[in-house]
Structure 1
Amino acid sequence: MVKTHPHRENVMSEESRETENPVTKHPQPKLPDQEQAHPGWTGPMDPPPDHGEDSYRGSGHLEGMAAVVTGGDSGIGRAVCLAFAREGADVLFTHLPEEEQEAATTSRLVEKAGRRAVAVSCDIRDEEQCRALVDRAVAEFGRIDILVNNAAYQMSQPDGIGSITTEQFDRVMKTNLYGMFWLSKMALPHIPEGGSIINSASVQAYKPSPHLLDYAMTKSAIVAFTQGMAQMLASSGIRVNAVAPGPVWTPLIPATMPDTTEFGKQSPLGRPAQPAEMAPAYVFLASPQASYITAEIVNATGGTPLP
């Protein structure tokens, strides 16, 4: 029997559901050409991303848990925050100072699901801000059951390595690797047995695009970090896994790609994923149902084969 929660928007509907063709379920290229300044915003995107606002139904898989999600203001992070809340978890998530409006939308979605939302402006490139973030999470929740290292930075450089400045390289490394390292290290004393860390890797870890060279480097490192940490923490009862998305329609795309019209067409399903299609993988890895799963990389690539 499905566990219901009458005061929250996470009740599994009992009506029959028709199966959907994954190829045609969401918009396909050719997408409208569009460009934004970094970090990008959800509102101007055409078509608008789907975070599961009208589709995700929870079943209490994360009931009573406390989660920290970096980069939760938009994209995959927002979809994860929404899904976690509808599964019964309270959520603290990070955003950049200029993303306050995006963060407010995520907070509303979490609170509408009947869970606590704590939005924290945090640049995870800074060690002390990471420390303050963990302290804030512990002060709010008393513990961290789930840490999702999701925030990332990329900037396409079609002209190759010669166009990657040291400033860009530093930003990519510090956002994607330093922040993950610091937060995992600092959160670890507050993660109880049965808790988990989930990192956002990428198809780029295995099939690097030349124009995303520095970004792809970090995603390969995240795979190694995930598998090494998982072995290190297994005896402590803490699981460490990662999700490796393929192309996903998020604000980062029009903000960092020179041409969005064919984005996602290279996947066997012929389209980019929507953020809502990534969130269930994070829910599963965070849930007790995945108790024997650690050191795994869940590939959500739309059919692109990975090692």
Structure 2
Amino acid sequence: MERLTGKTAIVTGVSYSEGIGTATCLSLAKAGADIFFTHWSPTDEAEGRLERDFPNKLCEKIISFEVRSDHIQLDLSIEESPNTLLNAAQESLGTANILVNNATYEVPTSFRTLTPETLDNHYQMNNRGTLG
């Protein structure tokens, strides 16, 4: 990977140690990028994968690569969240150069169990949430 020193990356959906978001954060940090990431504990707890104090531990790990890091707990399905995210990242680490939209909404379903609410939730997070 090209050296990313002086770049700032935002990575969404970084909530547990074995996830794609965590791997992405660590890869970008190893390449020299500062990392600002989001997480959302209520979903992780509901899905039985909440790791207490994980965001702070990940921040420490990222900083060990001699880059800066910060995070915010944020529900990206809320209309104002993209602006909240960009403002928080700007205030903490400066202007972001890289965006990795890793946060998603998904539930096990089939054509028999699919509901309008499931479709609305999917659209809100996976489509509208990334547009800001």
Q: Same fold (TM over 0.5)?
A: yes
Q: For residues 246-300 of structure 1, give each alpha carbon's deviation from its aligned partner in whole angstroms, at most 9, with x where no partner exists.
A: xxxxxxxxxxxxxxxxxxxxxxxxxxxxxxxxxxxxxxxxxxxxxxxxxxxxxxx
Q: 1:175 aligns with which of 116, 125, 131?
A: 125
Which residue matches 2:83? 131
Q: 2:27 aligns with which of 60, 80, 83?
A: 83
Aligned residue for 1:150, secondary structure, equals coil
Which residue matches 2:12? 70
Which residue matches 1:162? 112
- 8 Å Cα contact 2:9/2:36 also seen in 1: yes
Q: For residues 191-211 of structure 1, give each alpha carbon's deviation from its aligned partner in whole angstroms, at most 9, with x where no partner exists.
A: xxxxxxxxxxxxxxxxxxxxx
Pairwise CA distance, 1:162: 2.6
Which residue matches 1:147? 99
Counterparts of 1:165 and 1:101 in 2: how far apart (Å)? 34
- 8 Å Cα contact 1:73/1:106 also seen in 2: no
Counterparts of 1:142 and 1:105 in 2: how far apart (Å)? 22
How does 1:102-117 map onto structure 2 within 5 Å? 102-117=54-69
Larger-gyration structure (1/2):
1
- 8 Å Cα contact 2:82/2:130 also seen in 1: no
Which residue matches 1:256? none
Question: Root-mean-square deviation (CA), in Å?
Answer: 1.8
- 8 Å Cα contact 2:15/2:41 also seen in 1: no
- 8 Å Cα contact 1:60/1:88 also seen in 2: no
Pairwise CA distance, 1:91: 0.5
- 8 Å Cα contact 2:14/2:38 also seen in 1: yes
Aligned residue for 1:127, secondary structure, equals coil
Q: For residues 161-218 of structure 1, give each alpha carbon's deviation from its aligned partner in whole angstroms, at most 9, with x where no partner exists.
A: 2301222222211111111111xxxxxxxxxxxxxxxxxxxxxxxxxxxxxxxxxxxx
How does 1:221-300 map onto structure 2 within 5 Å? none
- 8 Å Cα contact 1:72/1:106 also seen in 2: no
Pairwise CA distance, 1:135: 0.6
The letter for the 2-side match of 1:174 is Q
Q: 1:121 aligns with which of 64, 73, 76?
A: 73
Q: Cα–Cα, structure 1 residues 73 and 112, in superposed 2: closer, same or farther, change >3 Å?
A: farther
Counterparts of 2:57 and 2:106 in 1: how far apart (Å)? 23
Long gaps (5+) in structure 1: 1-58, 183-307
What is the number of residues matched between the two proteins? 122
Pairwise CA distance, 1:60: 6.1
Counterparts of 2:104 and 2:92 in 1: how far apart (Å)? 25
Q: For residues 84-110 of structure 1, give each alpha carbon's deviation from its aligned partner in whole angstroms, at most 9, with x where no partner exists.
A: 111111100000034563323322221
Q: Cα–Cα, structure 1 residues 73 and 106, in superposed 2: closer, same or farther, change >3 Å?
A: farther
Identity %: 31
Q: TM-score, normalised by structure 1?
A: 0.37
Tell me: higher relative CO, structure 1 or 2? Use CA pairs within 8 A at least 6 residues apart: 2
Long gaps (5+) in structure 2: 43-49
- 8 Å Cα contact 1:137/1:143 also seen in 2: yes
